[in-house]
Structure 1
Amino acid sequence: MNRILMIAMALSIVSCQTSDEVPPPCGAGTIPVETVPPRVSAASELQVRGSIVATVVVEEDGRVTNPVTTRSQLEQLDRGKVDTAAYESAVLIAVEKWRFSPVPSRCAKKVTIDFRRLH
């Protein structure tokens, strides 16, 4: 009985992993038609500059799924510690709300969010 249960669990894990595979890259013409900026506190935004790159999956209907941070380069400008995780989380929440034009098949796209001090 335990052996059958272990085999069933292994098969379910494999099937989950294969359905989450990263699709091929999107073409150069795949641009967002609707974007949402990340929401960080105004005080926090003034403390850093830099960028966060996220990879998203663009579904055939233009929806974004599976956002993942692939690179964070944030530079601290003021005293205190930069909470990189908060910025990354804000970016992932925002890009998941983005919309692209429909594509022939799901594809992966890298998007870059820049943070700049305004003063």
Structure 2
Amino acid sequence: MQWKNITNLTQVNEIQKQPGYSLIFKHSTRCSVSMMAKRRFEMDWEVIPADTSLYFLDLISFRDVSAQIAETFQVHHESPQILLIKDGDCVLDASHSDISADEVAEVINN
């Protein structure tokens, strides 16, 4: 599996319109907790179905995109944070130590 970088506002609209599941990982490059959450997630991400689109946002570099994600999917901004999007709606969001590839897989598979 591989991350697709989110670098502009247009991509947020594309993710919202995309059918099926997409996952957004919002990461702060200045935060050790974010680095640890990302590493732990990536160690376990093979449990996530292969047809799930995985998006990565460096929220330090793209603050405007991060704000747009929070507004579009109606979630409170946190970092680190994952959002699982299904057919344009956020069906799971988690932050910090609650970020879990297993939980994402469970939501997708049920």
- Which structure's residues are more often strand, by fraction? 1
TM-score by length of 2: 0.28
- Which structure's residues are more often helix, by fraction? 2
Structure label with greater radius of gyration: 1
